[in-house]
Amino acid sequence: MIESIIGRKVGMTQVFDENGLAVPVTVIEAGPCYVTQIRTIDKDGYQAAQLGFGAAKRLKEPQKGHLKKLPQLKYLREVPCTDVSSIKVGQKVDVSLFSPGQLVSVTGVSKGKGFAGVVKRHHFGGGPKTHGQSDRHRAPGSIGATTTPGRVLKGTRMAGRMGGERVTVRNLEVMKVDPQRNLLLVRGAVPGAVNSLVMIRSAQRMAG
């Protein structure tokens, strides 16, 4: 059974719930996707399905062979499946996979922010603003001890490139499903810029 779908982040808007309250939602163009390959335990050691999404302008010869008798698909992603016996190559997967009120997890690549200091990147508080500290307001402060261990430990939070990382937001509520336009509206924000690729799957656990 397939519980995931590939989509494209369209943007954000708001809808009104049954109480008349405005709810911020992210609009995602979810699918349609096509099953392009099936992984089985006997052949591959695990169960999964490869999905294709988006129209490609041109494909290389190996890609054309892989997608023989299928539409020219731009993006291919593998999603885990609990049972592949009922899945067939060429099967269409669309937004009707989800229903309003369901919880989903959305994975995407966060917006790249470039080089950022520790205050913006790690939410450091900065140094004192008085007592002669004229240039340490946004400095990281001490980054380690002296003789022991005599080095800076790996993983120490410092300034550096911010964003552009794979991020998953869990337990977002599906507010609306539009099968005619392949649109999915989920409550809140999801990672990534407009038109970026996202993966939507059924939530693995309930919200706490």
Average confidence (pLDDT) over 157-173: 95
CA distances from 208 to 62, 115, 132, 171, 172 (A): 46, 35, 47, 9, 12
Which of 102, 111, 112 minimizes the C-alpha distance to 160? 112
Q: Are residues 139 and 55 in the same domain?
A: no
Q: How many helices (H) and strands (E) does the chain have?
A: 3, 12
Q: Is residue 208 part of a domain?
A: no
Q: Are residues 26 and 96 in the same domain?
A: yes
Q: Are residues 106 and 32 in the same domain?
A: yes
Measured in whole angstroms, how far is the alpha carbon of residue 4 from the centre of its chain? 12
Q: Are residues 82 and 123 in the same domain?
A: no
* Averaged pLDDT score across all residues of the chain: 91
Structure tokens that stand for 195 in this block: 């038109």
> Which residues, other chains included, contact 33 with Cβ-Cβ below 8 Å and sequence gap of 6+?
5, 6, 51, 52, 53, 92, 93, 94
What's the structural domain count of the chain?
A: 2
The region of weakest confidence among 43-47, 119-123, 164-168, 194-198 is: 43-47
Taking 90 as the threshold, does the pLDDT of residue 192 lie above it? yes
Amino acid present at 132: G
Taking 50 as the threshold, does the pLDDT of residue 136 lie above it? yes
Q: Are residues 28 and 95 in the same domain?
A: yes
Structure tokens that stand for 29 in this block: 């163009």
- By residue range, what is the domain housing residue 73? 4-112+165-202
Which range among 42-56, 80-94, 101-115 has the greatest average pLDDT? 101-115
Taking 50 as the threshold, does the pLDDT of residue 146 lie above it? yes
Q: Are residues 62 and 108 in the same domain?
A: yes
The secondary structure element, H or E, covering residue 41 is helix 41-44
CA distances from 25 to 78, 87, 109, 202 (A): 27, 31, 18, 17
pLDDT at 87: 86
Taking 70 as the threshold, does the pLDDT of residue 152 lie above it? yes
Q: Are residues 24 and 88 in the same domain?
A: yes
Q: Are residues 10 and 37 in the same domain?
A: yes
Q: Are residues 43 and 143 in the same domain?
A: no
Band (200; pLDDT cuts 50, 70, 90): very high
Percent of the chain with pLDDT over 70: 98
Band (207; pLDDT cuts 50, 70, 90): very low
Band (2; pLDDT cuts 50, 70, 90): confident
Average confidence (pLDDT) over 185-191: 94
Q: Is residue 207 part of a domain?
A: no
Band (205; pLDDT cuts 50, 70, 90): low
Q: Are residues 107 and 118 in the same domain?
A: no
Q: Is residue 90 part of a domain?
A: yes
pLDDT at 138: 93
Q: Is residue 104 part of a domain?
A: yes
Q: Are residues 65 and 126 in the same domain?
A: no
Which H, E and C letters describe 57-115, residue by residue? CCCCHHHHHHCCCCCCEEEEEEEECCCCCCCCCCCEECHHHCCCCCEEEEEEECCCCEE
Average confidence (pLDDT) over 128-151: 90
Q: Is residue 187 part of a domain?
A: yes
- Number of other residues whose CB lies within 10 A of the CB of residue 18: 5
Q: Are residues 99 and 8 in the same domain?
A: yes
Which range among 3-7, 61-65, 119-123, 132-136 has the greatest average pLDDT? 119-123
Q: Taking a C-beta distance cutoff of 8 angstroms, is the pair 63, 71 a contact? A: no
Taking 90 as the threshold, does the pLDDT of residue 69 lie above it? no
CATH (domain of 177)? 2.40.30.10
Separation of alpha carbons 36 and 55, rounded Å: 14
Q: Is residue 191 part of a domain?
A: yes
pLDDT at 125: 93
